Structures are given as structure tokens and as C-alpha cells.
Amino acid sequence: MHRYLVIANQTIESPLLLEAIEERRRVGPSDFHLIVPEDHLQGSTWDEGHARVAAKIRLAEGISYLAAHGIPLAGEVATLKWPSASSSPR
């Protein structure tokens, strides 16, 4: 069985993503796991709680959308920690 990790947020309902998943399913038995990152890049400020709730909603929408297309999968929300400018390698 092939296992795939799908990382998506804004592109969850993209026809291109659906096509890519379906291509991989045609190869053989496949298992998919969806990761939806929190989106901290909207606007000049963001609230961590709001970002997590929005990602959970997108995760549920993505699972439902893909299930409606015959693609069962599990998923989770991921928090991405962006390095600060001071921790960047020079």
C-alpha cells in the first residue's frame, strides 16, 4: 500500500489537488493523511486561537469534500513555527 501525506489549506478543494490524489489512487491501494496548517499570514495581525479554529474548519471541509469524491482519509491541524529573523543561518 502506498501512503501519502497531503498538506493543504486554501487548495483543499482544488481540482488540481483532487486530480493528483486520484492519479495516485489509480496506481494501486493508497492511504492518505491530510495536514492543514494554521494560516498565520492573513492580514497584519492574527490570533492563534482564531487560526486554529479556521484550520479545524478547513480540515473538516477537506475531509468531507474528498470523501464526497470517494477518497476516505484522516487528518489533523498543524501549527507551523516560523523562525525569527535572528535565528536564521547566515
Q: What percent of the chain has pLDDT over 70?
A: 78
Residue with cell 490524489: 21
Task: Name residue 81's amino acid.
Answer: K
pTM reported for the whole predicted model? 0.76
pLDDT, average across residues 12-34: 94
| 69: DSSP letter | T
- The partner residues of 6 in beta bridges, in order of sequence, read 34
Q: Where are the alpha helices (DSSP H) in 1-90?
A: 15-27, 48-68
In the predicted structure, residue 42 carries a pLDDT above the cut 70: no
pLDDT, average across residues 49-66: 90
